[in-house]
A = this chain, B = another copy of it.
Amino acid sequence: MGTAERREREKEQRRNDIIDAAEAVFFSKGIANSTMDEIADVSELSKGTLYLYFKNKEDLYLAIILRGLAILQAKFEETLKAHESGIEKTEAIGRAFFEFAKTHPDYFQAMLYFESADLPYDDESGYAAECLSQSNHTFEICARAVQAGIDDGTIRPDLDPMKTAMTLYGVSVGLLQIVSTKGQMIRECHNLNPDELIEYFFELIGNTLRTQIDE
């Protein structure tokens, strides 16, 4: 009989329930101001139980980040299919990333934590290693877009797809981070709409990737 299988399913369900509760708490007050006691309350479980399913507070947060990465990946894959030329695919993925930051600000905020924190990637038992692996997979999707552009001649052939993907991802994160933490200052001291800065960024790098016609 499938007792063990059922148990496994139920366990998976519990795990998801806990992540749901954790999202509600973490997203409403940030990781620093959230307590495991409150998450236990919201999930209607005891604090001890949380620790049966997750190593520690950070690990639970990383489980949320993994959800965010999955959403982002799906979006990227979809974007990759929806466009014809490689340069279009690449720019569309870039825009999809900024779009993601806007439509899923909570997941994006969590992902900024993932990008800036020093995590125990060597510990195989936690979520950090899995996050890193998925993050790598995300890079690969971006790299495929660049590769497509090189293949169809819309992107400079001298570019390295993986290097380009990682660089673009890194700089995008940085720009979004500055917009996210200093947005108010940008608006008030410089009378700039943060979105303008992002559009400006696209203009700046847009021509960098494209094949130069005049050579």
* Residue ranges of A at the interface with B (Cβ–Cβ < 8 Å): 30, 112-113, 115-119, 121, 132, 135-136, 160, 162-164, 166-167, 169-179, 181-182, 184-186, 189-190, 192, 196-197, 200-201, 204-205, 207-208, 214
CB pair A170–B163 under 8 Å, yes or no, is: no
Residues of chain B within 8 A (CB-CB) of A197 are 163, 166-167, 170
Q: A170-B178, A208-B208 are in contact. Are A163 and B200 (CB under 8 A)?
A: yes
Residue of B nearest to A132 (CB): B185
B179 close to A170 (CB less than 8 A): yes
Residues of B within 8 A of A173 (CB): 174, 177-178
Closest 9 CB pairs of A and B: A174-B174, A171-B171, A170-B178, A170-B175, A116-B116, A173-B174, A170-B174, A171-B174, A163-B200
Whose C-beta in chain B lies nearest to the C-beta of A196?
A: B163
Within the oligomer, what is the number of copies of this chain? 2
Q: Which of B30, B162, B177, B184 contacts A116 (CB 8 A)?
A: B177
Tell me the smallest distance from the CB of A26 to a CB of chain B, in Å: 14
A118: chain B residues at CB < 8 Å are 30, 181
Within the complex, the shortest CB–CB distance from A33 to chain B, in Å, comes to 10
The answer to whether A204 and B167 have CB atoms under 8 Å apart is yes
Which residues of B lie under 8 Å from residue A169 when comparing CB positions?
178
B30 touches A181 (CB 8 A): no
Among A136, A175, A196, max chain B CB count under 10 A is at A175
Residue of B nearest to A171 (CB): B171
When chains A and B are docked, how far (Å) is the Cα of A135 from the Cα of B186? 12
Residues of B within 8 A of A189 (CB): 136
**B214 and A184 within 8 A (CB):** no
Report the nearest B residue to A178, measured CB to CB.
Answer: B170
Determine the chain B residues whose CB is within 8 A of the CB of A186 once the complex forms. 166
